[in-house]
Chain A
Amino acid sequence: KLDIKIPIGMLFTIFGIILTVYGLVTSSDAEFYAKSLNFNVNLWIGLFMLVFGVFMLILAR
């Protein structure tokens, strides 16, 4: 009876929110993102995970 889209959607939404918020909070710290070639990898991956997570939850509505 378990619809696996629900835990995937929830997990990705939670990770997406955490990484997006963290990416926004650290976005002014240029030194922090020097490692990732000045690309705010937390923000963009966070946004992608958030969209994917919500999409999975919509599929499981």
Chain B
Amino acid sequence: MPNLLTLGLIDYLIIIIYFVFVIGIGWALKRYMSSSKAFLEAGRSLPAWVTGLAFISANLGALEVIGMSASGAQYGMATTHFYWIGAIPAMIFLALFMMPFYYGSKARSVPEYLKLRFNEKTRGLNAIAFALMTVLASGISMYALAALMEKLLHWPFDVSVLVSAGIVLAYTYLGGLSSAIYNEVVQFFIIVIGLFPLVFLSLKDAGGWSGMNDTLAQVAVDKGYQAGAWTQMWSHSGSAASNPMGVEWFGIIMGLGFVLSFGYWCTNFLVVQRAMAANSMSAARKTPLIGALPKIFIPFLVIVPGMAAMALASKGTLSLEMMPDGTPNYNSVITSMLSHYYPSGILGLGLTALLASFMSGMAGNVSAFNTVWTYDIYQSYIKPGQNDNHYLKVGQIATIFGVVLSIGAAYLAKQFGNIMDFLQMIFSMVNAPLFAVMFLGMFWKRATGNAAFWGLLIGIGCAMVHHGLTIPLGADPAAVIKGGWISVVHTYPSGMAQSFWTAIIAWTSATVFTVGLTFVTKQMKTNEELGGLVYSLTPRIVDKDDKWWNRPIVLALIVGALTLVLSIIFW
């Protein structure tokens, strides 16, 4: 079988130069790694524009680039819900209301904040769950990269895993969190420039924006939807059956826009860690807002090529890879288009962009893992009270350990094809109750540690029960991962609808139980201990130092207004 892509010498040259640079950045930072704070927290010394771009780049992994292009082809413009309602409001909320507590409390991680606000067992539960999820997520990125390279270029799977792991290990071991963040900034620019020609060429080939819309209108009608179903966001969300995503407006707003989105952006240490590395409170608060500006426009970089691919495939201009059951393999959209439009030279850059997206996902997870492992597990439970040099060494060893575990997870993913579904399911079950507990902890001083711990556990339990009792339309209950493993009492129109409602159930039950249990448990923390951790006990921040146009609230208004305008344009 021939390679799907054929690389020339110049393409290999571009990829090798990129690898040399990312390791070089780690090498340049090596001499500054003299303390655990420098290695695991970047010394809290980075400017807002760097942490802001890293904040968004850490999230611009393989799932985003490959997955959102696939969703663009499969669901059309409705995929932008994952950005304009499913990310931006949460990023604004994190910046304005939550960063003052994360950054101001001097907590070194999200689990440590939970310890300060609630108790040790709530921290332990979150730290262990998070460490496991980051290793799994990093391994899945590694697996996806190796599987893609094997398919496209016939590079051996083992070689791709070991080379990508070796490069990520080299720069995260040498330069710690700073190296991961600096490389994420480089990766952001490479991903944008590497994918931009694809947007231009695919739109040009599809007859421009209006030509693409006309073709997609026919695609929608052929599939039994109204003409605008592929090109409008909200117009067809009145019922689940009238849009290709299979989710109605309430599920989108409450499930994606509130629970899943806030659960991810406001409590996931992988992204919050970038903001916590900023050099001041103002920079920490601006980090998510600076990240939000490019985030608003990323749909045009990843979703629009997917939509153009769907239009071109329906006209016969572009051939998409087919699955054994005769449906298109939407996950191959980006690679099919790279192969179709990119000649040698720019092909090397496009492939480098893909590799950069996979590696930013891996490094982000590894750098979050080594911090949580060192501070929240090792220092708390295994060997407390050691000197700082000891914890620096542990952090460095944890980096090696994290990469080795990720390699194990990559081979686990190879063994079980649906591990990605499994991770997504776990994320929606764990993040939603965590956000409920975190929200109550920050904005209700009465919430107690025991109530939070049990609220978190009950929220996860209710999510599991809901998953066990429901199934998406057409799924086989025997495949446990899709749900229905207890009994099928409800069928959702799509897997996405089931996922959104699982998150809603998890968040609601965690909130109800945490509030209820708070009234029957004793508050062990004094008001003095909760100062800086709870809204009502923390002095308001006055941004006197920044110019008026550079204050977080002004940036938030600009980001919010831009998002609103785009949502109205594509309504």
State in angstroms the CA–CA spacing of A26 and B346 once bound together. Answer: 12
Q: A4-B50, A11-B186, A15-B17 are in contact. List 5 more A-B contacts (CB 8 A).
A: A2-B178, A7-B186, A33-B343, A41-B201, A45-B197
Chain B neighbourhood of A46, CB < 8 A:
345
Query: Using Cβ atoms and an 8 Å threshold, which residues of chain A touch B186?
Result: 4, 7-8, 11
When chains A and B are docked, how far (Å) is the Cα of A39 from the Cα of B345? 13
> Chain A: how many interface residues by the 8 Å CB criterion?
28
Are the CB atoms of A42 and B28 closer together than 8 Å? no
Q: What 0/1 pattern do residues 1 to 28 of A give for CB contact below 8 A with B?
A: 1101001101110110011001100100
Bound Cα distance A32, B344 (Å): 9
Pairs across A and B, CB under 8 Å, 11 listed: A2-B178, A12-B193, A18-B13, A26-B343, A35-B342, A36-B341, A37-B201, A39-B201, A41-B197, A41-B343, A46-B345
Q: How far is the CA of A26 from the CA of B347 in the complex (A)?
A: 14
Q: How far is the CB of A35 from chain B (nearest CB, A)?
A: 5
Query: How many angstroms from the CA of A42 to the CA of B342 in the assembled complex?
Result: 9
- Which residue of the partner chain B has the closest CB to A34? B343
Count how many chain B residues have C-beta atoms less than 8 Å from C-beta atoms of the other chain.
32
Question: Do B345 and A23 have beta carbons less than 8 Å apart?
Answer: yes
Task: List A contacts of B21 (CB < 8 A).
Answer: 7, 10-11
Whether A8 touches B341, Cβ cut-off 8 Å, given contacts A2-B29, A22-B10, A41-B346, is no
Chain A hits for B29, CB < 8 A? 2
Q: Does B18 contact A (CB under 8 A)?
A: yes
Known: A7-B186, A49-B193. A35 touches B343 (CB 8 A): yes
Contact B201 A45 (CB under 8 A): no
A22 to B32 Cα, complex, angstroms = 38
**Given A8-B189, A45-B346, residue A15 in contact with residue B25 (CB < 8 A):** no
> Chain B: residues with CB nearer than 8 A to chain A?
10, 13-14, 17-18, 21, 24-25, 28-29, 32, 50, 178, 182, 185-186, 189-190, 193, 196-197, 201, 204-205, 340-346, 349
Contact B14 A15 (CB under 8 A): yes
How far apart are A42's CB and chain B's nearest CB, in angstroms? 4
Closest residue to A29 on the B side, CB-wise?
Answer: B343
Question: Contacts A2-B25, A35-B343, A42-B343 known; A11 to B18 CB distance under 8 Å?
Answer: yes
Given contacts A4-B185, A22-B10, contact A42 B346 (CB under 8 A): yes
B10 touching A35, Cβ below 8 Å: no
Give the B-binding residues of A (Cβ under 8 A): 1-2, 4, 7-8, 10-12, 14-15, 18-19, 22-23, 26, 32-33, 35-37, 39, 41-42, 45-46, 48-49, 52
Q: Which residues of B contact A12 (CB under 8 A)?
A: 189, 193
Distance (whole angstroms) from the CB of B102 to the closest CB of chain A: 23
Measured CB to CB, the nearest residue on chain A to B346 is A41
CA distance A22 to B348 in the complex (A): 12
- Which residues in B have their C-beta under 8 angstroms from that of A4? 25, 50, 182, 185-186
Given the known interface contacts A4-B185, A7-B186, A37-B204, the answer about A45 and B343 at a Cβ–Cβ threshold of 8 Å is no
Q: How far is the CA of A36 from the CA of B196 in the complex (A)?
A: 13
Q: Is the CB of B14 within 8 A of A41?
A: no
B193 touches A41 (CB 8 A): no
Give bound CA distance, A33 to B347, whole Å. Answer: 12
Question: Cβ of A8 and Cβ of B201 under 8 Å apart?
Answer: no
Residues of A near B341 (CB, < 8 A) are 35-37
Q: How far is the CB of B185 from chain A (nearest CB, A)?
A: 5
Complex CA–CA separation, A48 to B29 (angstroms) = 29
Q: Which residue of A lies closest to B45 (CB)?
A: A1
Instruction: Closest B residue to A48 by CB, please name it.
Output: B193
Question: Across the interface, which residues of B come within 8 angstroms of A36, CB to CB?
Answer: 197, 201, 341-343, 346
> Is the beta-carbon distance between B193 and A42 smaller than 8 angstroms?
no
Is the beta-carbon distance between B14 and A18 smaller than 8 angstroms?
A: yes
Q: Are B10 and A11 in contact (CB under 8 A)?
A: no
CB-defined contacts of B17 to chain A, threshold 8 Å: 11, 14-15, 18
A21–B65 alpha-carbon span in the complex (Å): 29
Q: Is the CB of A42 within 8 A of B345?
A: yes
Contacts of B345 in A (CB 8 A): 18-19, 22-23, 26, 41-42, 46
Bound Cα distance from A2 to B31, whole angstroms = 11
| Other-chain contact of A7, B10, B24, B193 (Cβ < 8 Å) | B24
Min C-beta distance of A8 to chain B, whole Å? 6
Write out the residue numbers on chain A whose beta carbons fall within 8 Å of the beta carbon of B18: 11
Q: Which residue of A has the minimal Cβ distance to B196? A: A45
| Closest residue on chain B to residue A6 by CB atoms | B28
CA distance A45 to B32 in the complex (A): 35
Find B343's partner among A1, A8, A11, A32 (CB 8 Å cutoff): A32
Residues of B within 8 A of A15 (CB): 14, 17, 349
The answer to whether A45 touches B349, judged by C-beta atoms less than 8 angstroms apart, is yes
A19 to B10, CA, bound (A): 9
CA distance A10 to B345 in the complex (A): 18
Q: Determine whether the beta carbon of A18 is less than 8 Å from that of B10.
A: yes
Complex Cα spacing A33 to B204, Å: 15
The residues of B that contact A10 with a CB separation of less than 8 Å are 21
Residues of A contacting B197 with CB < 8 Å? 36, 41, 45
Tell me if A8 and B185 are in contact (CB < 8 A): yes
For B179, give the chain A residue with the smallest CB separation. A2
Q: Which residues from A are CB-within-8-Å of B340?
A: 35
Give Cα A12–Cα B193 distance, bound, in whole angstroms.
10
* A40 CB, min distance to chain B CBs, angstroms: 9
Q: How far is the CB of A33 from chain B (nearest CB, A)?
A: 6
